[in-house]
Structure 1
Amino acid sequence: MTSFIKRPVAQIAYVVDDVRASARKMAQALGAGPFFIGESIPLAHCLYRGREMPLDHTNACGQWGDVMIELVQQNNDGPSAFRDMYPKGSEGMHHVATFVEDFDAEVARYAALGCEAANIATTEGGNIRFAYIDARPLCGHMIEFYQDSEVIRGFYKMVKDASLTWDGTNPIIER
Structure 2
Amino acid sequence: MAPLPIRQIAYFVPDVRAAAQAHSAAFGSGPYYVADHIALTRAVHRGVERELDHSSAYGQWGEVMIEFCQQNNPGPSAFHDLYPEGSGREGLHHVALFVDNLDAAVADFTGRGATLALDAQMTNGFRYVFLDTIATYGHMLELYEPTDNLKGFYEYVRRKAGDFSKGVTQDIAFG
Q: Fold match, TM over 0.5?
A: yes
The 10-residue stretch of structure 1 (39-48 or 82-91) with the greater mean CA deviation from structure 2: 82-91
Structure 1 residue 91 corresponds to structure 2 residue 96 = no
Q: Does 1:20 align with 2:17?
A: yes
* 8 Å contact from structure 1 (residues 24, 172) kept in 2: no
CA–CA distance in structure 1, aligned partners of residues 46 and 35 of structure 2: 24
Q: CA RMSD in A?
A: 1.2
Q: CA deviation at 1:19?
A: 0.4
Between Structure 1 and Structure 2, how many residues are aligned? 170
Match 2:169 to one of 165, 169, 172: 172
Which amino acid in structure 2 is aligned with residue 158 of structure 1?
Y
CA contact (8 A) 2:58 2:67 kept: yes
Q: Tell me how far 1:13 sits from its aligned partner.
A: 0.4
Matched ranges for 1:1-175 at <5 A: 2=1, 6-88=3-85, 89-126=88-125, 128-168=126-166, 170-175=167-172
Structure 2: runs of 5+ lacking an equivalent? none
> What code does the residue aligned with 2:35 have?
G
Contact 1:23–1:172 (CA<8 Å) still a contact in 2? Answer: no
Contact 1:20 1:172 in 2 (8 A): no
- Does the residue aligned with 1:119 lie in a helix, a strand or coil? strand
Matching residue's letter, 1:101: D
Q: Cα offset for 1:79?
A: 1.0
Q: Which runs of 4+ in 1 moved over 4 A?
A: none
Counterpart Cα distance in 1 of 2:84 and 2:18: 19
Q: In percent, how many aligned pairs have the same letter?
A: 42
